Amino acid sequence: MGALSALEEALENRWQALWARMADREPVELVDALRRECDDHAVVCRAGRVMVPNAYEVELADEVYEQLACRDSRVGQALTDSLVRHAARHGYVWAGPLAVHVRRSGDVPNGRYRVASSVMPHVSAEAFQRAGR
């Protein structure tokens, strides 16, 4: 088990390094913000069972959105994959199907991005995206 975790960690670090070089550290910061949001809202339901929100909204400033969109059209999927690995590493259980919705916003407090989460037990990724429009 330890070797597998070490391999996952090494792959995650390489992925972050690649994104950092490609887009001036924004994706790495977004991944960290998503992980923090997940960790901060984790609820211990019983011994060995920690539930976390399953719906994540990532709002990006126009400039950041354009920068990431031109680098990779699958930003939302990459963020989702990273969050899945993070939850697996910590033994988290999703409150429902996982959905990460990335959208452009002209009103983000730090001028770059905002991450929020919620529990939506029966949400699909497509329905979550439609609801955010």
Mean of the per-residue pLDDT values for the chain?
Answer: 81
Distance CA 61, CA 84 (A): 24
pLDDT higher than threshold 60 for residue 132: no
The closest alpha carbon to 132, from 57, 63, 22, belongs to 57
Residue 5: pLDDT band by 50, 70, 90 thresholds? confident
Residue 46: pLDDT band by 50, 70, 90 thresholds? confident
Could you tell me the CA-to-CA distances from 72 to 36, 47, 119, 133 in Å, in that order? Answer: 23, 40, 28, 21
The closest alpha carbon to 58, from 113, 121, 12, 132, belongs to 113
Query: Structure pTM?
Result: 0.71
In the three-class reduction of DSSP (H, G, I as helix; E, B as strand; rest coil), residue 105 is classed as coil
CATH number of 49's domain: 3.30.2320.60
Distance CA 51, CA 49 (A): 6
Instruction: Count structural domains, the chain.
Output: 1
Which range, of 8-17, 25-34, 95-104, 124-133, averages the lowest pLDDT?
Answer: 124-133
pLDDT for 14: 66
pLDDT for 42: 95
pLDDT higher than threshold 90 for residue 86: yes
Percent of the chain with pLDDT over 70: 77
Which residue segment(s) compose the domain that 27 sits in?
2-131
